[in-house]
Each structure stands twice: as structure tokens, then as C-alpha cells.
Structure 1
């Protein structure tokens, strides 16, 4: 049985084919484009226009990408500070088994946004009124993890078995959580690396593929709870400022450590997809799995 693009490797060559076809269809010149990164998606910046082309790794992700386009249009209409779709281009179209979208290129300048920026932006996002006709999926904290494990072909069986059991245990824990905040629309991946500071100093939000209807606590854990309590990337004073910026102390909430451990699994299996891209990625994946077996904080993980 042939594998879908989800279960196949997603190399630069795979992304390039979809990229060239999409640009040709949109009437854009793909020559000289700069590859920005390849991970969950591949990103290219055009040399011929202020456009970033985003390629999702599988046609199976079409509903997620269509949702992302809808969210981008809503936030633009609401005047929310976020990246915009590039006008007059076909959006969420499938080429060579991958889903492609076109975004307006935004230059960055000045200090990179930090954890306090993330907290403030999440507060602003959660306060925006969602239109009734924009339907969001119910949040599943481990939605893509099983598929990643099913697709893994170069990971030790004992690591796969450990992660599968971890998922089962965490789903059970998650189902018993008593959330303190009202549910609503969430970014789903609202960390500081999904923010950008423009040359005019304004911070904008990026990456809407994980948007969902769910617990706001998830966004707060991702944005500043996990960096503080899980990784020690923030000093207490900075964390206190982030709490003030949002208005809720996520690390003091009793369910925090369940959310933290779920987030660690999603981060680890995200990296797992790219272990064949280099020995440093493989080494970091092995380090993360080893640390998950022993719940000692702070984690000593390298960012990718």
C-alpha cells in the first residue's frame, strides 16, 4: 500500500516541486526564491515579489489550511496585528500532494519579541470577538502525534512504544482537568517565535494552523508557563511581568504540569519528523526522549 504524503519524508525536493507548480499557477516568478525553513511546513521567500509561499507537508492537511486562511481573513478584518494573506492568489490549493498558501512578506527589525510580548499578544487575541460563521475545530492537544509516530521509520521501537504509552496516559490525565478559564478560540502554538517585530516596532502574530476552540490555559502554557517552569528560560521577574500582561498565573494552576508534559510530547514528536536531516537533530531527539522518561526540571533542550 502506498503511503500518503503525511507518511512520506518531506524533503526540500518535495517542497520545491509543489512550490514551483503553485507559483506558476499564481503567475508568480519562483526564480531566485530563498528557502526559509522546512519543518512542519516549508517556507520560501520570493525574490520577485514581497511574498512568502508556505507548503504544508500533506494534502491531508487541506482542512487545517483552509481554516488557517479563514482565521487570517477574520483577523485582518478585525484589525488584529497579524500576518496577512497575499491578495489575488489562489489559497489553500493542492499541488503535487501538498497544500500551498501565499502570504505577505513582513520584514523584521529591532529586538525579537519576547515572552512578555507573547503574553500581551495572547491577551489581545483572546479578547477579539470571533465571528459566528467561522467554525473552529475542537482542540485536541495531541492531534498530530499519533500520525507522526505511525510515520516514523527510523526511530527505535522502544522509543515509539514509550511515546505511545505516554500519549495514552496524558490523554487520561487531560480528560480529568478542571480548567479555570472559559474556553474560547486559541492560537494553539502561541510562543514568541510565532511573533515578529516589524521595522516600525509593531509586533504581529504568525502561523494560524493550530487555531482551535479550546482551553486558554494551553496558550498560556505555551507562551510563558512552559518557558518559565519547564525550561528555565525566564527569570521570576520576567515571568511575573508576563503574568501581569495576560492576567493569569498559569504555573500556579493545578493542571499546569499535565499541559506542560503534553506540550513536551508535541515538541518532541515535531522534531522527530526531521531526525534524518542531520546528526544534531537526531541527537536532540534522543536527548528529549531520555529526559521525558525522568520528570526532572528544568529540561535542558536545544531549540530547533
Structure 2
């Protein structure tokens, strides 16, 4: 369920400038680096070393990136199967107005991790004891949405008005929810696209920038509940196996549809940032807006 967009002031050229400066600063060779993805962050694979350079779009994200580094160090020390930082290298450094981190490249092979793998990983993650000195922010389910709406200069006022009212209504619903699971640390963006299967066959987790203190229901809703009930990307059999693996059926919890609709808003406003890049993206955004106005499941949304 990964959505990709290019934010204002964060082009491939911007990312590459930061890459060159950051690599020069730590003594790595950026020549021949290959762009893996340009989305919420830019990811480059170096040709000179087994390193992935991750570039956050703005210096405003420095606290988030520092937290991600702290989480990665904790998970590594705890023996949790996760992506590793590149050792003996300054992390969360600022170059050309961007925040840069360095990670070990992971060679992948075999079938991509599935929803059952994700349920197993979330169960293990939620069961870890968080260090007392690791301070996590309280989870905000609609973080960054208001900023996206403020920057949506080519989206119809009617659509923006609808989205702003929906955000207001969903915040009120979210505050009133009675959560069934214990509050604790959550991944925050725990979908199966944030898992990798290594050449040794092990599944590892990555992307910790949304890590927070909040309801475990959010990770289950994002990871398995919405793909099953919202999009029918999961067969009933596989979903049942995922429920057994974690031990909780998120779709039977009364607050599920509130979290589902919150996630749909974050997905739609994420895509909204790219509506001017292609007619296909504009058409998909319009399709999502129409379906948000008519809450009929399953959704037939295309991932970008």
C-alpha cells in the first residue's frame, strides 16, 4: 500500500546535491549512485559500497530522522530483525537543507513477504521492551495532512473543503475511540512494503520514521485490516492466518472503520501532492475523492 509522491522543493536534482555533499563529508564515493526511489524520502544505492543513502526532504524533519536512528539502534541491540545503519558513520547530518542517513544495503531474494509475515513481525515488535530513555512522540494519525492541504494549490476548492471537514470529523471520532489493545510503541506505517526477505530467507523490517507511542490497532489496521476489508488484496484464508499469527482480529473491533477512513485520507492526500505530474495520477486522485464521498467497500484504488 505504498504511495509515492514528490514534495514541493524536493526534486531528483535536490536529492542528488545532498547525496554528493553527504558522501563527501563521510568519505564515501557517490559516483555511479543509483536512485532507488524518490518519494517521501530519496533513496540512493551507492556503487562504491553496499550502502543505501536515505535523504529526507527537509531540515524540518531532523527530529524525526534522529528518532528513526535511535529506534534503529534499539532494534539492532535487541536482536530484532531490522535494517541496519551503516557503522562508524555520522547519522542524521544536514546537507543542502536535507537530512541524510546511511544504511546497509540488503540483498533480497525469494518471494516477497506477505501479510502473515507482517503479522508475525508486528507481534514481535509490539512485544519488545522499549528502553526508558527512548522518547517517542504521541501518535498523530493525521500528521502532515493539514500541511499537504495548505500546499495543494491546483486542487479544487470543493475537494479541499471536503477533505478539511473530513479531517475535523475523523479527529473527533478518533479521540472518542475505546481501544482494545494496550497502548505502546508502534511502527506507524506498518505495511508489508516495509518488509524485505533477505537472500538467507529471513524477513526484516525497515522505515522507522513514523515510529510513535500509540494504539497497536493502528499498525494492524494499516498492515492487514485495510488490505483485507478495504481493498480485498488479501484472501480470507491468508487474513485468517494473519489474525492467528497476531492474535487479534482488527476488523471485528468497533473502531476499525474510523481508522480505515483516517488511513484513506492520508493515502489520498499523499497522492494529491503529485496530481500535476501526470493525467493518470490526476485521474486516480479524482477517483479516490469520488469514492471517499461514497463509502462503499471494497475500494478499487490503484497504488502509485
TM-score after normalising by structure 1: 0.96
2:208 match: 208
> Displacement of 1:7 after TM fit?
7.4
Aligned residue pairs: how many?
299
8 Å contact from structure 1 (residues 195, 203) kept in 2: yes
> Secondary structure, in 3 states, of the residue corresponding to 1:277?
coil
Given the alignment of the two structures, is residue 227 of structure 1 paired with residue 227 of structure 2, yes or no? yes
1:90 match: 90
Give CA deviations for 1:133-164 in whole Å, capped at 9, x if unaligned: 00000000001111111122222222111111
Map 1:26-45 → 2, pairs under 5 A: 26-45=26-45
Give CA deviations for 1:145-195 in whole Å, capped at 9, x if unaligned: 111111222222221111111100100000100000010000000000000
Map 1:257-276 → 2, pairs under 5 A: 257-276=257-276
8 Å contact from structure 2 (residues 179, 255) kept in 1: yes
Map 1:51-66 → 2, pairs under 5 A: 51-66=51-66
2:195 match: 195
Give CA deviations for 1:253-289 in whole Å, capped at 9, x if unaligned: 0000000000111111112223333332222222212
8 Å contact from structure 1 (residues 34, 46) kept in 2: yes
1:113 match: 113
> Secondary structure, in 3 states, of the residue corresponding to 1:275?
coil
Map 1:143-154 → 2, pairs under 5 A: 143-154=143-154
1:19 match: 19
8 Å contact from structure 1 (residues 72, 85) kept in 2: yes
Give CA deviations for 1:18-62 in whole Å, capped at 9, x if unaligned: 111111111111111110111111111001100111111111111
Given the alignment of the two structures, is residue 134 of structure 1 paired with residue 134 of structure 2, yes or no? yes
Give me the whole-angstrom Cα distance separating, in 2, the residues matched to 1:194 and 1:208: 9
> Secondary structure, in 3 states, of the residue corresponding to 2:43?
strand
> Displacement of 1:239 after TM fit?
0.8
Give me the whole-angstrom Cα distance separating, in 2, the residues matched to 1:279 and 1:48: 38
1:76 match: 76
Give me the whole-angstrom Cα distance separating, in 2, the residues matched to 1:156 and 1:54: 33
Give me the whole-angstrom Cα distance separating, in 1, the residues matched to 2:30 and 2:275: 28
8 Å contact from structure 1 (residues 39, 274) kept in 2: no
Query: What runs of 5+ residues in structure 2 fail to find an aligned partner?
Result: 1-5
8 Å contact from structure 2 (residues 58, 98) kept in 1: yes
> Secondary structure, in 3 states, of the residue corresponding to 1:106?
coil
TM-align CA RMSD:
1.2
1:3 match: none
> Displacement of 1:230 after TM fit?
0.5
Give me the whole-angstrom Cα distance separating, in 2, the residues matched to 1:291 and 1:229: 15
8 Å contact from structure 1 (residues 222, 263) kept in 2: yes
8 Å contact from structure 2 (residues 7, 40) kept in 1: no
8 Å contact from structure 1 (residues 182, 216) kept in 2: yes
How has the CA–CA distance of structure 1 residues 78 and 274 changed in structure 2, closer, same or farther, with 3 Å as cutoff? same
Query: What runs of 5+ residues in structure 1 fail to find an aligned partner?
Result: 1-5
Give me the whole-angstrom Cα distance separating, in 2, the residues matched to 1:242 and 1:295: 25
8 Å contact from structure 1 (residues 182, 215) kept in 2: yes
8 Å contact from structure 1 (residues 243, 249) kept in 2: yes
